[in-house]
A and B are shown apart, each in its own frame.
Chain A
């Protein structure tokens, strides 16, 4: 079972990102579940969402303590929340950032989701949309297929800029 923890701030689309990833994995023929941790959320507060992907039905509901992959949708969380907590040895980190980063012992990738969203003018209520380009970056990491990523996005959003942003993110992941 592949376990993914997504860190974001309330309003940045972390919940939708988790759901898109689960939907794409299910399109790939896998089992998946997506569950945000619901607390006293408000815009801007640190939040986490969880995704599990497996070849068998998923029977676990508790929070993910030892993820295989950690996603950080908001770079400013890096100094605020212990985002690497519990990450498995040799695990993977994907950070929304324009800069290359290193975390010794982990495969670290960055992608400028915010920049891509702004370039595509994908802005809702004044905030750049991060969840759809996020899915493109995840496809690049090989967790889901490119086709399933597009299908998941198209199933939820009709604006073609979402797919364009995902494709841009797919191309622009920095290893």
Chain B
């Protein structure tokens, strides 16, 4: 069915169809309309989930952990400071192998107090064991949320998935949305280690170094297996519903001399920059990164690469740029842009490509040299 929806509405719609047994959430700008919409679904009986209006994000994640441990599908949504407030519990969710799905509406971290798009919030969850995916359109936010449940709950994964969408830019942008009937695309959850009162066992006891180390290794093993599960799920999604998704969304990359890499809406806007550059005879392409964890293999051999980070690791560099460098040894011009909702247009992105200085770092509109 074709409807018109915001990014947040699209997420809520996908959640309605995935029908989690438990949803626990705390509202925060710009995520609020996701949980408002879900609360409305529950109120009107369109969703039979148990909706727990908790007193904080830490509690939201704790409630999801408790519920998911019984084998119940759960969902939560947050943003920015809410996500950081969850941080202790996000680690727990992954460590306890609970396939919780969460939407994070990317927003800057204060101070200075700022409600606009920035990836610093989710990037700070990089090493928790959560899978991370970034959407760039309303349709993609919807499709990806549906896929997130299937991927997280797959027996070879059993890790939580965070679906990210840019605050306001995508969360509040209204676009056409084609909804589907997911049917058995999202099979019922069978959590192998679910609490079973008939066979009581202890959860979360003290774990010695040797066992602990194995658990950590198991998480990494599942992250690697997740690569296959994601690939298969995306192929199956295309087979059933037509729309195609990869680890990256490649646009005019085949013969490109220079490739722009970004996540979220900036990666979509980069396609318009690529078209403009091509019209000027510059062979540019855009490789929008969808999956940040697990980090995909990227083929960038022989091309210049311009990486745009909407985040920063102080004392080191743009997290995406440094990740691409580590994973590919590519020649990179690192652009730090869009922090705190800074306006970045396709003209600006074309400018980054034309004026690229491989090996350098640019803070857009702040400095012009590394």
A residues whose Cβ falls under 8 Å from a Cβ of B = 18-19, 22-23, 26, 31-36, 38, 57-63, 65
In the assembled complex, the Cα of A107 lies from the Cα of B265 at a distance in Å of 34
Pairs A-B, 5 closest by C-beta atoms: A62-B345, A34-B174, A61-B265, A35-B173, A23-B4
| Contact among A19, A22, A60 for B346, CB-based, below 8 A | A60
Can you name the residue of chain B whose Cβ is closest to the Cβ of A34? B174
A36 and B272 contact, Cβ closer than 8 Å, known pairs A26-B4, A62-B345, A63-B343: no
A30 smallest CB distance to B (angstroms): 9
Question: What separation, in Å, do the CA atoms of A63 and B338 have in the docked complex?
Answer: 13
Against A, the Cβ 8 Å flags (1 = close, 0 = not) of B156-197 are: 000000000010111011111000000000000000000000
**Are B268 and A22 in touch, CB under 8 angstroms?**
no
Question: Among B116, B173, B266, which residue has the most Cβ atoms of chain A within 10 A?
Answer: B173
Is B172 within 8 A of A35, CB to CB? yes
Minimum distance in angstroms from B117 CB to a CB of chain A: 9
Shortest A14–chain B CB gap in Å is: 13
Q: Are A60 and B272 in contact (CB under 8 A)?
A: yes
- What separation, in Å, do the CA atoms of A62 and B348 have in the docked complex? 10
Chain B residues within 8 Å of A38, by CB: 30, 115-116, 168, 172
A58 touches B175 (CB 8 A): yes
B278 to nearest A CB, angstroms? 14
Inter-chain contacts of A59 with B (CB < 8 A): 268-269, 271-272
Most chain A beta carbons < 10 A, residue from B176, B271, B344: B176
Q: Is B175 touching A36 in the complex (CB atoms < 8 A)? A: no
For chain A, what secondary structure do more than half of its interface residues adopt (helix, strand, loop), or is it mixed? mixed
By a CB distance below 8 angstroms, the chain A residues around B173 are 33-35, 61
- Residue B144 at the A interface, CB < 8 A? no
Chain B contacts for A62, CB-based, 8 A? 269, 343-346
What residue in chain B is nearest A65 (Cβ atoms)? B345
Task: Give the distance in Å from the alpha carbon of A57 to the alpha carbon of B175 in the complex.
Answer: 9
- Residues of chain B with a CB closer than 8 A to A32's CB: 174-176
**A31: chain B residues within 8 A (beta carbon):** 175-176
Q: Give the shortest distance, in Å, between A175 (CB) and chain B (any CB).
A: 30
B272:A35 contact, CB within 8 angstroms: no
List of B residues within 8 angstroms of A58 by Cβ: 175
Taking a contact as CB atoms under 8 Å apart, the answer to whether B269 and A60 are in contact is yes
Q: Are A33 and B175 in contact (CB under 8 A)?
A: yes
- Please tell me if B137 contacts chain A, counting CB pairs below 8 Å: yes
For B2, list chain A residues within 8 Å (CB). 26
Contact among B115, B174, B176, B268 with A61 in the assembled complex (CB-CB below 8 Å): B268
Contact with A along B104-143 (1 / 0, CB 8 A): 0000000000011000000000000000000001000000
Q: Specify which chain A residues have a CB less than 8 angstroms from the CB of B269 in the assembled complex.
A: 59-62
A33 CB contacts on chain B under 8 angstroms:
173-175
Listed A/B pairs (18) with beta-carbon separation below 8 Å: A19-B4, A22-B4, A22-B174, A23-B4, A34-B174, A35-B169, A35-B173, A38-B30, A38-B172, A59-B268, A59-B269, A60-B269, A60-B345, A61-B170, A62-B343, A62-B345, A62-B346, A65-B345
Residues on the A chain within 8 Å of B343, using CB = 62-63
Alpha-carbon distance A34/B172, docked complex (angstroms): 9
Least CB distance from A85 to B in Å reads: 15
Cβ contact within 8 Å between B176 and A26:
yes
B192 to chain A, nearest CB (A): 41
A78 to B346, CA, bound (A): 30
Cβ of B345: which chain A residues have Cβ within 8 Å of it? 60, 62, 65
Chain A residue nearest in CB terms to B166: A61
B216 to chain A, nearest CB (A): 38
Contact partners of A18 in chain B: CB under 8 A: 174
Q: A22-B175, A59-B272 are in contact. List 20 more A-B contacts (CB 8 A).
A: A18-B174, A19-B4, A19-B174, A26-B2, A26-B176, A31-B175, A32-B176, A33-B174, A34-B173, A35-B168, A35-B169, A35-B173, A38-B115, A59-B269, A60-B345, A61-B169, A61-B170, A61-B268, A61-B269, A62-B346
Could you say which residues of chain B place their CB within 8 Å of the CB of A22?
4, 174-175
Give, as a whole number of angstroms, the nearest-CB distance from B365 to chain A: 14
Residues of A within 8 A of B168 (CB): 35, 38
* Residue of A whose beta carbon sits closest to that of B344: A62
How far does the Cβ of A3 sit from chain B's closest Cβ, in whole Å? 12
The complex places the Cα of A59 from the Cα of B166 at a distance, in Å, of 14
Question: Closest approach, in angstroms, between the C-beta of A46 and any C-beta of chain B?
Answer: 18
The CA of A105 and the CA of B159, in the complex, are separated in Å by: 60
Chain B 313-333 per-residue mask, 1 if CB under 8 angstroms from chain A, else 0: 000000000000000000000
